[in-house]
Structure 1
């Protein structure tokens, strides 16, 4: 009910933006609700501070107050960030919303205050289609806003790399590393995960980082000159980078195998939530999960390449059972 009311309120604002005066019947028809519901929604707008006046008489209805522009939409920073994220990722989760989401984003940017418009524009996203998508880990809005702002403003980013469980290594721990300085160039959404593509200033290397694995320090304000991503295609770069900080998703069955394919090839087609390791120029190791051992074996088979060093034994047994079934296909 609350969601329906909010949706109609936005529709009412859109109608008043297009034409200041409407009859009660027209509004009811456009919103596909009763006239009584329209009256309640108009009262909601008035409580929010929108100057909607009642026009009396046979041709009466409602009119946006003369001489009063539409007030800015009342979004705080977190709401503006949520709207920006939702609109920019809508086309990857709901079929056919790409154009509508883009138009909605442009419309909202025209009516929010300048400061919030800047917040909405801080995220420059690239969304990649992956047919193995599943929900990714949550990201703190503050971290996402900080990273998105650094990307948009072209400011050097300083961060600590977090462990897979989200904790920061103790300085005395073996996996401790000092803060990294990175030129952040792109935010990429792929397979339910957020990745940051940047140029590492410590070792002069392009890297891909999971945003949920970053503890971002205070903004540096240090600007950098844009560089071109290797190959000129950010999508290809992310999908062929095997070291993205990924960890295996939680599945009933998790197995690993050595594949006679280079890591960049396997990383391009591996399901989200898998881990690809570079072994040499012609071999890589894939760790992957599924709801059954047969499922793990089946996914490995899709690469159509020689496999070895399969673990655990349950995966080996599942592969043998599948092979026996396929051998018996022509005998039936």
Structure 2
């Protein structure tokens, strides 16, 4: 049994009982008490609300009155929901848009404070603007499917991203950047980044990126204050450009 399967079985075991003990869990899953304690710690780290009583007769139980216990979301899933809710606020008002935002606030409140801070920090690195202009839409392409997974990992793990980039003139160059943020002007999205070689802020349109790969030995610390402020201030200019491979102070 893989660890993922074992943790899922543990979760099912806890859901089926008001309370249980480490010894009962160990016997049911055919593992050691030490393994049970380690897997319980994993569930707590993922935000599952568990309580336990110390002592020989102590029990373990799900706190069923604390938020959603049947669904455990990764940071990426939370950011995806937050982005969807934010996009619903742009343009026309959509049904349940307010409910989506309210639900996310409850989700943040239902997880440990440290994890909630990490989720909020990740969401703050995403800037949602108005829909892309007709000029941008006229030549927009589709980002390669494999780029999404590479970008998400670089964004989450805070490591550099290397890729081949084609600018608005058709010129191609190899770039290595720190992906500090993401600007979404649906359906177009841009990497708000710092070019490692040029040591300057740049914005790259995702459909012009090819052959992306992680650079795990080049970590960075996200710094969105300047980049996000510039993205907000210059957003209208960015919407009218056919390429955003330019300094953020010019392109937004």
Larger Rg: 1
TM-score by length of 2: 0.50
